[in-house]
């Protein structure tokens, strides 16, 4: 009986084994590339200006990764359009870039929670100025790891508008021009949270999984026409987005500051369509992707529960120190969890 099934079952087993082996080899190749490529890439072999053109636009460019990325592009000779909400911060950042790198800048104040209206403002302010590199960096997360019902409806809508709609509509607004010219680059910034569902940052991680899927499909539609469409997926970077954790506010082997991160991330532009953007993030990503998704989800949940506990404890102790300080109803309710 077993005899007649032995040969086909062995064949199926061998094919599955072969695919597993290929998967691991591919991950090893990716890891080696991410870790080693930045050290061997001749920086100025083909300059970004020559390859794509002189103007870049970076969204969310007055803080964190976006600001550092804009500086790095300027260091490589690109003129930069900075887009964020706050005019004062925009003016300050633009002045810093111009005085340091002697390139041109333009600032546009737009709020990406406003959907297409923000994109229309960007287009109108740009006028005839063509954008050669579009960096969809703007992103928003929860204030700290929360259960879904603790996040306000407004915050959920804003996160979806910023992380999903802004990326989608900005790509739609600029890709046609790049396509007709046969050159240009789009960088869509997601996050390591796209690698698996992430409890207590449920909406954020889901929006970043959207960015990964959207970018890969867009590359399929427009790739091979001279346009680079990169999915940039950082792990932890020391920025104010992670202010909920004192551990993530310290630069370390696995948590670079925004400047260091951007230096490597820009090096991958035009060389890697999918990248974590930083060599030690490549190492982390390799190990993160080894276990099955359900285990990664479990580990992610444990990690976020730890961050949540640390955050609530620090908020509670500062609450005790500051007489009369008021927290939102949801945060106050969460304090009770610590007493259990």
When binding is defined by CB under 6 A, the residue of 34, 79, 165, 242 that contacts ligand NAP is 242
Between vectors from CA 234 to CA 257 and to CA 123, what angle results, nearest 5°? 95
204 is catalytic: yes
What string marks each residue from 288 to 327 as x (binds ligand NAP by CB under 6 A) or -?
A: ----------------------------------------
From the candidates 52, 69, 101, 204, which is the catalytic residue? 204
Alpha carbon distance, N-terminus to C-terminus of the chain: 59
Residue 188-227 contact track with ligand NAP, rule CB under 6 A, x = bound: -x-xx-----------------------------------
- For the beta sheet containing 184-189, the strands, ordered from the edge strand earlier in sequence to the opposite edge, are 105-109, 79-84, 55-59, 133-136, 184-189, 227-232, 274-275
Binding segment (CB under 6 A) for ligand NAP, from list 6-14, 229-237, 267-275, 328-336: 229-237
Q: Assess 276 for contact with ligand NAP (CB under 6 A).
A: no
Q: How far is the CB of 31 from ligand NAP (least distance, A)?
A: 18
Q: How many CB atoms lie within 10 A of CB 273?
A: 15
- Any residues with CB less than 8 A from the CB of 65 and at least 6 apart, and which? 137, 189, 234, 237, 239, 258, 261, 262, 265
Q: Please state the φ and ψ torsions of residue 113, each to the nearest 5 degrees.
A: -75, -10
Binding-site size for ligand NAP (CB under 6 A) equals 29
Pairwise CA distance, residues 291 & 273, whole Å: 24
Minimum Å distance from CB 321 to ligand NAP? 26
Q: How far is the CB of 239 from ligand NAP (least distance, A)?
A: 3
Q: Least distance (Å) from ligand NAP to the CB of residue 86?
A: 4
Q: Is 102 left (phi over 0), alpha (psi -120 to 50) or beta?
A: left
Per CB under 6 A, the list member of 57, 138, 209, 265 interacting with ligand NAP is: 138
Kindly state the smallest distance separating residue 188's Cβ from ligand NAP, in Å. 9
In whole angstroms, the minimum distance from the beta carbon of 224 to ligand NAP comes to: 27
In this chain, which of 57, 58, 65, 135 binds ligand NAP, going by CB under 6 A?
65
CB closer to ligand NAP out of 38 and 192: 192
**Considering the rule CB under 6 A, would residue 266 count as an interface residue with ligand NAP?**
no
Of residues 72-131, those binding ligand NAP (CB under 6 A): 84-86, 89, 111-113
| φ/ψ of residue 253, rounded to 5 | -55, -45
Which tokens sit at 88? 């004062």
Binding residue (CB under 6 A) for ligand NAP from 31, 70, 241, 272: 241
Report in angstroms how near the CB of residue 90 gets to ligand NAP at its nearest.
Answer: 7
Output 190 or 334, the one with its CB closest to ligand NAP.
190
Instruction: List C-alpha distances in Å: 190 to 55, 90, 160, 181.
Output: 22, 23, 13, 27
Choose one: 13-21, 43-51, 132-140, 310-318; the region binding ligand NAP (CB under 6 A): 132-140
DSSP letter for each residue of 165-192: IHHHHHHHHHHHHHHHHT-EEEEEE--G
C-beta neighbour count of 6 within 10 angstroms:
10
> What is the distance of C-alpha 175 from the center of its chain?
20
Quick one: which of 202, 239, 275, 276 contacts ligand NAP (CB under 6 A)?
239
User: Could you tell me which residues come within 8 angstroms of residue 70 by beta carbon, excluding any fewer than 6 positions away?
Assistant: 56, 58, 61, 80, 82, 93, 97, 135
Supply the residues annotated as catalytic: 204
Residues that bind ligand NAP (CB under 6 A): 60-66, 84-86, 89, 111-113, 137-140, 162, 189, 191-192, 234, 236-237, 239-242
């Amino acid at each position: 009986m077993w005899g007649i099934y032995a040969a086909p079952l062995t064949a199926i087993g061998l094919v599955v084994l072969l695919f597993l082996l290929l998967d691991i080899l591919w991950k090893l190749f990716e890891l080696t590339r991410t870790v080693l490529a930045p050290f061997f890439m001749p920086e100025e072999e083909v300059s970004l200006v020559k390859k794509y053109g002189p103007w870049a636009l970076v969204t969310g460019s007055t803080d964190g990764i976006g600001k550092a990325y804009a500086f790095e592009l300027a260091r490589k000779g690109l003129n930069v359009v900075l887009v964020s909400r706050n005019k004062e911060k925009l003016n300050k950042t633009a002045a810093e870039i111009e005085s340091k790198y002697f390139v041109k800048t333009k600032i546009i104040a737009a709020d990406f929670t406003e959907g297409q209206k923000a994109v229309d403002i960007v287009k109108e302010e740009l006028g005839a100025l063509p954008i050669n590199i579009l960096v969809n960096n703007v992103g928003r997360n929860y204030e700290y790891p929360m259960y879904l019902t603790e996040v306000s409806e407004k915050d959920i809508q804003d996160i979806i508008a910023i992380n999903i709609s802004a990326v989608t509509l900005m790509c739609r607004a600029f890709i046609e021009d790049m396509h007709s010219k046969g050159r240009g680059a789009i960088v869509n910034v997601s996050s390591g949270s796209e690698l698996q569902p992430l409890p207590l940052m449920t909406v954020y991680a889901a929006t970043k999984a959207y960015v990964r899927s959207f970018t890969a499909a867009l590359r399929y539609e427009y790739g091979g026409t001279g346009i680079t469409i990169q999915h940039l997926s950082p792990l932890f970077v020391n920025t104010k987005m992670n202010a909920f954790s004192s551990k993530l506010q310290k630069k370390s082997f696995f948590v670079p500051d925004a400047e260091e991160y951007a230096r490597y991330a820009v090096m991958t532009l035009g060389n890697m369509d999918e990248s974590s953007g930083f060599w030690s993030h490549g190492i982390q990503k390799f190990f993160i992707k080894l276990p099955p998704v359900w285990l990664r989800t479990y580990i992610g949940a444990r990690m976020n529960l730890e961050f949540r506990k640390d955050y609530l404890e620090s908020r509670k102790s500062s609450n005790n120190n500051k007489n009369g300080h008021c927290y939102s109803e949801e945060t106050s309710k969460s304090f009770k969890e610590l007493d259990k």
